[in-house]
Chains A and B, each alone.
Chain A
């Protein structure tokens, strides 16, 4: 009698990973290592052993494609269902879509930039482990922009403000905030990019960007956005891991790397945090149904998880919490109010609309922000009287921008929320203004880089943006009159009311 041979055992995840990822790499023999990987020397980072890079996901190309295909299948099923059932009518309000307009104009093009730069890392990092992780992330990021565009294109058929996001991302004043952030990162070296995007953006701050947007979508009846968001976020845990492995790898490879990494953490925390000012106002003002306040999100995702969790581990390497983090903590009481108040006054030059918070909304703001009644409610009460008198306020001037974060100078002094903060540096006979000590610190470290910034307001004054009047500039921005301004009475608002009236009359939904 013979015993049937056992079926050949599958390789374990560990063995598959090393066979399919690390074992496929080779050492060059026709060229030197330096010739093959020319970009990993100039930043001053020292790497002794690239094989020490860990990838806890142990992802191989077959598993990657299998699960990514499954994610897409689930997403497109939801998109079809939503479109076929007129799902947009189940949103809390058409004004909710202002958050999504900001998302496609400001965030989706960053996914494309991430796709490109991770493709570059997938070629140019010396180790096969990080190269493969970067390749997967590059493919993820192109999936993200594609699924975002597919999802939001359904709204573009029916709502204003979605139509020219690519064109606008490269030109419009408030979109230069995210654009210049990413331009700064991709024009840095590969290691700084890893700390800027891989670590600071994807690990430290990603929860503050995506979780509020996606939970907000879920809470406001936007199932497709929630689905693409969570589908994208499921890749994000891999991206977070890449960022975290990157920083640990750099810190463990050589002690000399520590001060460089610390500077990049300081810089990219502040860059990312300033960018998130747009998310702060979205959470507190743009969502008709609130998920959590910016203050609560910052406390939970940043202070508890990052400062209380991660930075305790990083202290082992001599890494301290980012510079100016104390100011960010202090600002959580004021940030969203200051930003939205500014956007409110400039939304005639934006591809989204704004409106005075309703009474119920103001109660929520008072309940969540102890300083709201004293500092911000009076502004809105005054504006209510303006509107009642037929004078909705729009600022007809052009704001001064910070030369680093490119946000209008609207932030206040540490310790004094009633005085606008102004800092400046002189460089080669010119004066450059900043919104904060954090932005000034970044400029002073690399003035040669930031003097090249394309500041939208300067460009308008220099005559590079279609003309000197607001209508000229808006035409150059490809903004239609119905895209911006006041929400109440806007095209989206009127359509919304008419559709719902119609739905009631026909008994449909």
Chain B
């Protein structure tokens, strides 16, 4: 029998520039991360969630109404906390290791 370690629920998060272009990204993150909380600060938005945070290409594209590559996330992000566990064509995942 194997025991799966319960994933940590220490918060991870991203700080994004508050701009028209990034609104779809922020909405997609909120929709795809059930426990995400959003905090507005001057010029920026912080989205955080317990344990893990995903950004899905398809969710962003659905809101943006155009193609969006995950590389484009670099135009939105100001800072983050957690580790970038994966960044591929479809998804960006931020989580702690332990």
Contact = CB atoms under 8 A, between A and B. Distances in A.
Contacts of A241: 84
Contacts, number: 101
A206 B75 CA distance: 18
A255 to B, nearest CB: 18
A145 interface: no
A316 B42 contact: no
A58 B88 contact: yes
B67 interface: no
A233 B8 contact: no
B47 to A, nearest CB: 14
B88 A67 contact: no
Interface string B1-30: 000000010111001010000000000000
A56 B86 contact: yes
A67 B74 contact: yes
B10 A214 contact: no
Interface centre among B42, B71, B72, B80 (most CB of A within 10 A): B42
A309 B43 contact: no
Interface residues of A, number: 43
A219 B42 contact: yes
Contacts of B88: 12-14, 58
A233 B78 contact: yes
A312 B42 contact: no
B1 to A, nearest CB: 24
A309 B82 contact: yes
Nearest to A218: B43
Interface residues on B, range: 20 to 34
Nearest to A310: B81
A219 B43 CA distance: 8
B57 to A, nearest CB: 11
B38 interface: no
A237 B80 contact: yes
A214 B84 contact: no
A71 interface: yes
Interface string A234-267: 1011101100100000000000000000000000
Contacts of B66: none
B54 interface: no
B44 A215 contact: yes
B78 A13 contact: no
A70 B75 contact: yes
A291 B86 contact: no
Contacts of A305: 81
B78 A291 contact: no
Contact of B42 (A14, A74, A215, A306): A215
Nearest to B13: A305
Nearest to A235: B74
Interface of A: 12-14, 56-59, 63, 67, 70-71, 74, 206-207, 210-211, 214-219, 226, 230, 233-234, 236-238, 240-241, 244, 291-292, 304-306, 308-310, 312-313, 316
23 contacts: A12-B88, A14-B88, A56-B84, A56-B85, A56-B86, A58-B87, A59-B71, A63-B71, A67-B72, A215-B42, A215-B43, A215-B44, A219-B42, A230-B17, A230-B78, A234-B75, A236-B78, A237-B77, A240-B80, A291-B42, A308-B10, A309-B82, A316-B97
Q: Which 8 A-B pairs have the closest CB atoms?
A: A218-B43, A56-B84, A219-B42, A218-B42, A233-B78, A305-B81, A215-B42, A313-B97
